[in-house]
A = this chain, B = another copy of it.
């Protein structure tokens, strides 16, 4: 830490010309986390648009699909499966229940837990949503070939499947 410290030289005019709006050749482009976030934002944006009509958000969609796959799943199961916290599940299921898409059924054997089921409406909706989500994914990744899309999915799964701790 030397005494002289005129790093940027505040005298100079800072921005002589416009900077490129698309940053290329930058260290940031090499960061996996950055690429993941950007790609995720894009895919989610498409998803939001696709779901807007039904006012369904990502977490609700995930919940619906899991409940469909495992009718009677408990809230703690759901929390664990989706890696979200129990309080989050409560409001999630509240929302679905209020809209008549799912319902809690108190478990007879362990009256602490609730099994969650889709209503008929919920089942119909989730079928529709799955199609929309599929389509949304395709649109968001138009720049990929089918093989590349498959590859990407495989690689992503490989990343998050190896949960070594915490999550």
A positions within 8 Å CB-CB of B = 5, 7-8, 10, 12-16, 18-19, 21-23, 26-45, 47, 58, 62, 65-66, 68-74, 77, 80-81, 83, 103, 105-110, 113-120, 122-123, 130, 133, 136-137, 140-144, 148-149, 151-153, 155-164, 166-167
Contacts and interface: CB of A to CB of B under 8 A. Distances in A.
The number of times this chain is found in the oligomer is 2
A7 B47 CA distance: 28
Contacts of A33: 40, 43-44, 47, 58, 133, 136-137, 140
A36 B166 CA distance: 18
Given A33-B43, A33-B133, 6 more contacts: A14-B117, A19-B74, A28-B65, A32-B141, A32-B156, A36-B43
9 contacts: A15-B77, A15-B110, A18-B77, A19-B73, A21-B81, A27-B65, A33-B47, A33-B58, A43-B159
